[in-house]
Amino acid sequence: MYAIEIRAPGGPEVLALCKRPRPQPKAGEVLIQVQAAGVNRPDILQRLGHYPAPAGASDIPGLEVAGSIVDAKDTSFKLGDSVCALVQAGGYAEFCTAPAELCLPIPKGLSMVEAASLPETFFTVWSNVFDRAHLGLRSDGLKETLLVHGASSGIGVTAVQMATALGHAVYGTAGDDRKSQAVQSFGAKLCFNYKNQDFVAEVLAATEGRGVDVILDMVGGHYLPRNLACLADEGRIALIALLGGTKGELDMAQVLRRRLTITGSTLRPRDIPFKAAIAQKLKTHIWPLLDSHQIKPVIYATFPLQEAAQAHRLMESSQHIGKIVLTIDK
């Protein structure tokens, strides 16, 4: 089969088309003939040598795919079933194995490209915003509020749409006015251009001084004290990336006095049962919203598999809004 390999840590030019043996599914796995594969920020980090695949996983990048099942070992899936799947690695290829528990049906009316854009971001958002940060109801019975940093990214757009569809007021930050307007069109009440707006002041003004209940943060670093400043009492920060660095200043007195929580996680190293539990929650709570088109995937660009380097260049430019997807011809 054809696949994309990382020849050495480095820039996009190290991604190269290669031939590899077709993987064989183990018990409880399916083999998917891939028609589309999502491109995600962890793929960039893996290419740079900062985020290696877990032990025993393929060195081929790619964490989410959509396609048709062509082989299955001890699963309830049938040959020919169309699925999208979260995988540990191997998505940038014509064929990819996936645990059957991490495969979900293609939502009604969605293309393979749209379906391939779902797993990594939807699993990540549900795990961090809803399972870890417990976005839900306030003590007065009102729905809690959410602030999403990087709201125009694939993760950000998913968080905005998912929380909005579940009835929460969502605010966002983005790097220019074009992105901010797009984020608002996806359901955010307001989105602030962090380059010329003070998001702390804007969030406090929008919430009448209360602050937000949950922040989904992919920046870290210098954002930490600013995040605390716009959190409501009992508020939670869910940290999922460190684009702003690994160190920040923490006012621990605020954490104590206002009962704040700072948490974080990475999804890729977690075991299959952990991810399978998320898959079931998504199937129950979110897939019906995709079926009814209350949540719609946002695809910014597609590239043929052999142009994976171009897809990475686009992602690293941060010009995109939503998802970038690779396509694979049968």
Same-domain pairing of 15 and 74: yes
Over residues 115-121, mean pLDDT: 98
Q: What is the pTM of this model?
A: 0.96
Same-domain pairing of 23 and 42: yes
Same-domain pairing of 85 and 180: no
Over residues 178-194, mean pLDDT: 97
Residue 330 has pLDDT above 80, yes or no: no
Which pLDDT value is given to residue 23?
97
Structure-token match 């920060």, residue found? 237
* C-alpha to C-alpha distance for 141 and 126, rounded to whole angstroms: 21
Cβ atoms within 10 Å, residue 79: 11
Q: Which of 109-113, 139-143, 158-162 has the lowest mean pLDDT?
A: 139-143
Same-domain pairing of 216 and 277: no
Same-domain pairing of 307 and 256: no
**pLDDT averaged over the chain?**
96
* C-alpha to C-alpha distance for 53 and 15, rounded to whole angstroms: 15
Over residues 178-196, mean pLDDT: 97
* C-alpha to C-alpha distance for 219 and 264, rounded to whole angstroms: 12
Cβ atoms within 10 Å, residue 253: 8
Please report which confidence band the pLDDT of residue 283 belongs to, taking 50, 70 and 90 as the band edges.
very high
Instruction: Name the helix (H) or strand (E) containing 73.
Output: none
Same-domain pairing of 249 and 274: no
Which pLDDT value is given to residue 243?
86
- Which residues contact residue 159 at a Cβ distance below 8 angstroms, ignoring those fewer than 6 apart? 125, 129, 146, 148, 151, 170, 216
Same-domain pairing of 250 and 177: yes
Which pLDDT value is given to residue 13?
98
Same-domain pairing of 57 and 129: no
Over residues 288-292, mean pLDDT: 98
* C-alpha to C-alpha distance for 32 and 65, rounded to whole angstroms: 8
Instruction: Write out the two tokens for 154.
Output: 């694939």
Residue 3 has pLDDT above 80, yes or no: yes
Strands of the 190-193 sheet, one edge to the other: 190-193, 170-174, 146-148, 212-217, 231-239, 261-264
Q: Of the candidates 121, 158, 167, 126, which has an alpha carbon nearest to the alpha carbon of residue 295?
A: 158
Secondary-structure percent of the chain, ordered helix, strand, coil, rounded to 5: 35, 25, 40
Domain-terminating residue out of 264, 284, 317: 264
Q: Is 108 exposed, middle or buried (0-12, 13-18, 19+ CB in 10 A)?
A: exposed
Please report which confidence band the pLDDT of residue 73 belongs to, taking 50, 70 and 90 as the band edges.
confident
265 compared with 329, residue with greater pLDDT: 265
Task: Report the Cα 298 to chain-centroid distance in Å.
Answer: 12
Which pLDDT value is given to residue 74?
84
Domain-terminating residue out of 211, 241, 264: 264
* C-alpha to C-alpha distance for 125 and 9, rounded to whole angstroms: 28
Cα-trace Rg, the chain:
20
Would you put residue 299 in left (φ > 0), alpha (ψ -120 to 50) or beta?
beta
- The HSE-up count of residue 306 (CA atoms within 13 Å, CB side) is 5
Same-domain pairing of 70 and 105: yes
Domain that holds residue 193: 123-264
Cβ atoms within 10 Å, residue 280: 11
Rounded to whole angstroms, the maximal C-alpha distance in the chain is 59
Structure-token match 């645990």, residue found? 99
CATH number for position 293: 3.90.180.10
pLDDT in tens, 203-253: 999 999 999 999 999 999 999 999 999 999 999 999 999 888 899 999 999
Domains of the chain: total? 2
- Which residues contact residue 19 at a Cβ distance below 8 angstroms, ignoring those fewer than 6 apart? 1, 2, 3
Same-domain pairing of 181 and 257: yes
